[in-house]
């Protein structure tokens, strides 16, 4: 039997991307298709989504819902993978310029609860027959935007619809989709769903909690994060619920799409290179990055790169405190990102204080992000917490050694260049344990020390580039979760 899976999410690369969620939703369905799963995706009808799909055609008229006017279901194809994508056409909700979640003043849209309730509701409608030509065995909801999908499946079941299994994947527990309790009535769910054992969360409605409570299985994006979210420190108020579901939770490490993130095929970097011979190609990428960012052209300077949202979660406040240590040792720092105004200002001030050694570009630029990953010697991901992290996986592929805090997926994917790990041929980067200035500075010092030992440095770079975090392993692990739901 071919297993049919419907992924419900707010974004998907290359159609629309604001973060790592889009990379996962763009890469997992094609990897699943390779294994024989019929994996499809349902997305809100944002302008970028509609513009990027081929062969868009009407599927069903879903009627009026959530005050969005007449809702239509359409279906298209995302090339070159050939993944079928359903689109929720509700232009009053989704046809807005700019960011999919926020208005021009960077405030979340006041109707986000209804905009994303519609996404979950539509996923459940597809699961219960809205497309006469296809029905999924499993609805796979991603993050809070799709968190109500499992709840609507349960509600439809009450009205006589057949049971359809659901999986909820948590990409980041910190983003929960909470709304005032007064909005519950607009969600078109049974009244008793607003309860502690349901959507209610400290007097609010939580879309993520709905998914965690009503889904048949829960996955998260690394084994360590799956354990961390069941603790008070990392559970974001949901650890109690997650502890009761501990046997339903699986940590599956995200993968890398090596057709996009590999220095041997990457068209957007200054020079391609391979794991077998990274040397001159990587040096050219470094020189090009130094020139592009206005840094001193110096192949011997240890170049640290950052591609990140500038938030405290990402540990960028800690990095700022360590900038003098990098510069004093002759190192350089390149930062690409946008986020908290205080951190943006701090980064700009660091660049002004250290011209030629620190360069900052505020914003997001996909091409420049590839250039930084390829041109840096070290890529820094000093997150306070990190569900999986993709940046360190990209860095490994490009032989740019990751420097990370030992949490979540960072702990699962990077081996510290300790003397023991170097001796046992295990080291792939630098890992610090305590989230403080002494911790990160210690890792920075180890990076400089390793760079001074050329033979060891080259061996670690080669080992980093030899790591395989392709999507096939993740696709197989998800297949196992699905199988557990569908039985033999």
d(CA 6, CA 326): 47
10 with 105, same domain: the answer is yes
pLDDT of residue 271: 97
Q: Which residues contact 394 (CB under 8 A, 6 or more apart)?
A: 256, 261, 373, 379
The Cα diameter of the chain in Å comes to 69
235 with 286, same domain: the answer is no
Residue 260 lies inside a defined structural domain of this protein: no
d(CA 258, CA 469): 9
308 with 165, same domain: the answer is no
The count of domains in the chain is 2
pLDDT of residue 104: 86
Q: Which helix (H) or strand (E) holds 44?
A: strand 38-44
Q: Which residues contact 7 (CB under 8 A, 6 or more apart)?
A: 25, 28, 29, 39, 40, 41, 42, 140, 142
Residue 313 lies inside a defined structural domain of this protein: yes
Q: Which residues contact 229 (CB under 8 A, 6 or more apart)?
A: 170, 173, 220, 235, 236, 238, 239, 242
Residue 80: both structure tokens together = 């070159």
d(CA 346, CA 323): 11
86 with 227, same domain: the answer is yes
Residue 16 lies inside a defined structural domain of this protein: yes
51 with 86, same domain: the answer is yes
pLDDT of residue 106: 83
Residue 271 lies inside a defined structural domain of this protein: no
Residue 187: both structure tokens together = 């969600």
245 with 194, same domain: the answer is yes
Distances (CA, A) of 294 to 21, 78, 144, 332: 32, 38, 40, 11
Q: Which helix (H) or strand (E) holds 476?
A: helix 471-486
Residue 481 lies inside a defined structural domain of this protein: yes
Q: Closest by alpha carbon to 83, among 140, 142, 145, 27?
A: 27
d(CA 417, CA 437): 19
Structural domain that includes position 239: 4-255+471-486
Q: List, in sequence order, every beta strand (DSSP E) within 173-310.
A: 178-180, 200-201, 204-206, 217-220, 249-251, 303-307
Residue 306 lies inside a defined structural domain of this protein: yes
Distances (CA, A) of 33 to 38, 40, 488: 6, 9, 20
pTM of the predicted structure, to 2 decimals:
0.91
Residue 263 lies inside a defined structural domain of this protein: no
Crossing angle (nearest 10°) for helices 437-451 and 454-465: 110
- Residue 314: CATH number of its domain: 3.40.50.2000
Please give the full DSSP string across 142-153, using - where no structure is assigned: ETGGGTTHHHHH
187 with 295, same domain: the answer is no
Residue 144 lies inside a defined structural domain of this protein: yes
H helix runs in 245-399, sequence order: 279-293, 316-328, 341-353, 366-375, 391-397
357 with 413, same domain: the answer is yes
pLDDT of residue 396: 98
330 with 437, same domain: the answer is yes
317 with 405, same domain: the answer is yes
d(CA 259, CA 17): 17
Residue-level pLDDT, tens digit, the chain, 488 residues: 899 999 999 999 999 998 889 989 999 999 999 999 999 999 999 999 999 999 999 999 999 999 999 999 999 999 888 999 999 999 999 999 888 999 988 899 999 999 999 999 999 999 999 999 999 999 999 999 999 999 999 999 999 999 999 999 999 999 999 999 999 999 999 999 999 999 999 999 999 999 999 999 999 999 999 999 999 999 999 999 999 999 999 999 999 989 889 999 999 999 999 999 988 999 999 999 999 999 999 999 999 999 999 999 999 999 999 999 999 999 999 999 999 999 999 999 999 999 999 999 999 899 999 999 999 999 999 999 999 999 999 999 999 999 999 999 999 999 999 999 999 999 999 999 999 999 999 999 999 999 999 999 999 999 999 999 999 999 999 999 999 999 77
Identify whether the C-beta of residue 172 lies closer than 8 Å to the C-beta of residue 208.
Answer: no
CA-based angle 122:128:132, to the nearest 5? 95
Please give the full DSSP string across 2-25, using - where no structure is assigned: --EEEEE-S-BTTTB-SSHHHHHH
193 with 68, same domain: the answer is yes
Q: Is 277 annotated as a binding residue?
A: no
Identify whether the C-beta of residue 178 lies closer than 8 Å to the C-beta of residue 116.
Answer: no
296 with 249, same domain: the answer is no
């Amino acid at each position: 039997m071919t297993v049919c899976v419907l992924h419900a999410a707010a974004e998907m690369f290359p159609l629309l991307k604001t973060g790592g969620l889009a990379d996962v939703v763009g890469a997992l369905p094609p990897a699943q298709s390779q294994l024989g799963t019929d994996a499809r995706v349902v997305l809100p009808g944002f302008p970028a989504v509609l513009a990027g799909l081929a062969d868009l055609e009407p599927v069903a008229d879903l009627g009026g819902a959530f005050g969005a006017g007449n809702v239509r279901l359409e279906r298209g194809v995302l090339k070159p993978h050939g993944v079928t994508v359903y689109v929720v056409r509700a232009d009053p909700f989704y046809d807005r310029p700019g960011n999919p979640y926020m208005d021009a003043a960077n405030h979340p849209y006041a109707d986000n609860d209804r905009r994303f309730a519609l996404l979950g509701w539509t996923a459940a409608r597809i699961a219960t027959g809205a497309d006469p030509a296809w029905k999924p065995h499993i609805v796979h909801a991603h993050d809070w935007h799709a968190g109500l999908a499992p709840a609507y499946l349960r509600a439809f079941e009450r009205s006589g619809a057949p049971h359809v299994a659901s999986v909820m994947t948590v990409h980041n527990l910190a983003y929960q989709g909470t709304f005032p309790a007064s909005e519950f009535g607009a969600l078109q769910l049974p009244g008793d769903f607003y309860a502690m054992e349901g959507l209610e969360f400290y007097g609010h409605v939580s879309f993520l909690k709905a998914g965690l409570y009503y889904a048949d299985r829960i996955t998260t994006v690394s084994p360590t994060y799956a354990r961390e979210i069941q603790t008070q420190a990392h559970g974001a108020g949901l650890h109690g619920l997650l502890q009761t579901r501990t046997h339903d939770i699986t940590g599956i490490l995200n993968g890398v799409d090596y057709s996009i993130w590999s220095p041997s095929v990457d068209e957007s970097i200054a020079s391609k290179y391979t794991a077998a011979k990274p040397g001159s190609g990587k040096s050219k990428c470094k020189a090009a990055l130094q020139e592009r960012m206005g840094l001193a052209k110096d192949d011997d300077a240890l170049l640290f790169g950052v591609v990140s949202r500038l938030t405290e979660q990402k540990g960028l406040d800690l990095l700022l405190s360590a900038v003098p240590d990098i510069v004093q040792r002759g190192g350089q720092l390149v930062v690409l990102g946008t986020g908290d105004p205080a951190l943006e200002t701090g980064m700009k001030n660091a660049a002004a204080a250290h011209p030629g050694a620190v360069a900052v570009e505020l914003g997001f630029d996909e091409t420049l992000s590839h250039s930084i990953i390829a041109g840096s010697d070290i890529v820094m991901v000093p997150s306070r917490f990190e569900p999986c992290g993709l940046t360190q996986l990209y860095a490994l592929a490009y032989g740019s050694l990751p420097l990370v805090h030992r949490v979540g997926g960072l702990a699962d994917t990077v081996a510290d260049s300790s003397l023991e790990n170097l001796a046992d041929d295990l080291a792939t980067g630098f890992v610090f344990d305590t989230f403080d200035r002494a911790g990160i500075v210690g890792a920075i010092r180890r990076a400089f020390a390793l760079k001074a030992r050329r033979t060891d440095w080259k061996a670690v770079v080669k080992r980093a580039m030899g790591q395989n975090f392709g999507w096939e392993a993740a696709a197989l692990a998800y297949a196992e979760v699905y199988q557990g739901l569908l039985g033999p």
